[in-house]
Amino acid sequence: MEDEEIVKARFFIEPEDEKSSAQHIGCRLVLTEKMIHAGFKKGMVFNLLDGTVEVALEGPKKEIESFHAEVKKHLVEWLLEKSNDREKLKKLIGNPGISITELELKPKITVLDIGLYSHSLEMNQLGKGVDVYYELVDAIRDLKSTNRDIRDEIAKGRQ
């Protein structure tokens, strides 16, 4: 990120009506990942009690404005890409869906190191790792069986 004015900013992701949901649809995971890939060192995404999701960032003003514009344009698309059940996600988001508020520059908001909130990424990877773990266990069992067969063949050949 270039040397320019460093600002603190926030915006919210809100359900458009009581049937829509902005929480538990992957916003924290997707946006934390996108913030890290965009190079932000400080940023947070968290659920609020009123059903909205707050996104807070600290960094160069132009980078934050660009990130916000990308979120407004692509958030639903990003959520659908990450979803294992696109139809369920579409129902949760609902119609008219979710909206992203305008960016607010707020110099007094607290924005913590993004690493403190990256656990959502780790939890996402954990789910992927479970399948890999089972595949490894099966492969090890197959190897044990193959080794046992080879050992038996060698033993027969020595007799």
CA distances from 2 to 5, 32, 40, 60 (A): 9, 21, 12, 7
Q: Which CATH class is domain 6-117?
A: alpha beta
Among the residues of 42-118, which ranges form H helices? Answer: 61-82, 86-93
pLDDT tens, residue by residue, 34-71: 998 899 999 999 889 888 999 999 999 999 999 999 99
Token match 């008219």: residue? 96
Measured CA to CA, the distance from residue 74 to residue 130 in angstroms comes to 29
pLDDT tens, residue by residue, 74-93: 998 888 887 777 677 677 67
More confident residue, 32 or 143: 32
pTM for the complete prediction?
0.70
Q: Please calculate the CA angle 13-14-17 and round it to the nearest 5 degrees.
A: 155
The pLDDT value recorded for residue 4 is 85
Would you kindly state where each structural domain of the chain is located, as residue ranges?
6-117, 119-159
